[in-house]
Chain A
């Protein structure tokens, strides 16, 4: 096994671990804010690790740039939707 294969496996497994932890947190944490905390970890780090692993696996610069772009877009959307959900949770608990 070449170094890049080992690196790919390590990165993707790390990403999957974050997704798993994030999902467990989403299902088991008690309130909206802590659930969002768990969810954003899966979105940011999990997707980041998996994209990094796939970039290493693909081995091309353009592919890596595209994956980085995917990750950046997903993070932008996740940040804003987490903010909106958190604000909505605050707003409804104030009522």
Chain B
């Protein structure tokens, strides 16, 4: 009997390639975005098959979930914009065939070079360096991924938070004069069933997000996954009118936006008191400090993602919330 798991893995890999191709090649924007979300889900399965549940969770929550929502948002905004070329309207002329082949050659060449490098690295992969293994196994935080993200490569994570804030500022500048309420108009008439789903999903999502945050120190999970889940909750609240847009950003939201980066950067400065290096953890309180930074990052990620989806400026809980079931 043929062992089935390699067959499954090969199908998974081919499916990923095919989906990636379809994302680029499909004509409609909406189709491309939906295929991109499917790609994220299949990618999450691939990460799970590779034994990387942290990445699988992050891929499913961030790539398939919240990025998909943001891209659909962008589609909607583009269709609503009368100045934007509509599908079926006068299309831009397709590039000439010589130019197209040049692009194929460049992309194909780069892809092949990248794949060859990865294969070469994977084949000649050395074991984990003993210093690294000791550093991870002797750490006060048990989950190796969290150790790497917060301690050994803490600088990278600090800069990731900065990138998130930059992305938000970019959106804020671009979307400066938009009609925010018109971006997600509430459907009129029939109260949508989505509202009762949101009511039921709220406690489940909150518990799951806090669990992922709390368990991140010893098991798969952490600030990014938890923040993405809370951001998803914010997206659903915005779509069902439980959160309404504001034309200014309240101080609490501004604080939320910079909290993660601020706490992380503040810690980097403070750590110079007890160490010669920024971002080195105090020996006594490693777990506590790590948890504090994760909490601040989770809040910032959730607030940033919700505001990104909402189109920026501000949000507040609706005065008269929609009645649940």
Chain A residues packing against B (C-beta within 8 Å):
73, 76-77, 79-80, 83-84, 87
Contact = CB atoms under 8 A, between A and B. Distances in A.
Interface of B: 190, 192-194, 196-197, 200-201, 204
A77 B197 contact: yes
- The residue among B192, B193, B200, B201 with the most chain A CB atoms within 10 A of its own CB is B193
B194 A80 contact: yes
A76 B192 contact: no
B197 A76 contact: yes
Contacts of A80: 193-194, 196-197
A83 B192 CA distance: 9
SS of B interface (majority): helix
B322 to A, nearest CB: 15
A80 B239 CA distance: 14
Contacts of B196: 80
Contacts of B193: 79-80, 83-84
Contacts of A79: 193
17 contacts: A73-B204, A76-B197, A76-B200, A76-B201, A77-B197, A79-B193, A80-B193, A80-B194, A80-B196, A80-B197, A83-B192, A83-B193, A84-B192, A84-B193, A84-B194, A87-B190, A87-B192
Contacts of A73: 204
A62 B196 CA distance: 27
Contacts of B204: 73
Contacts of A87: 190, 192
Contacts of B200: 76
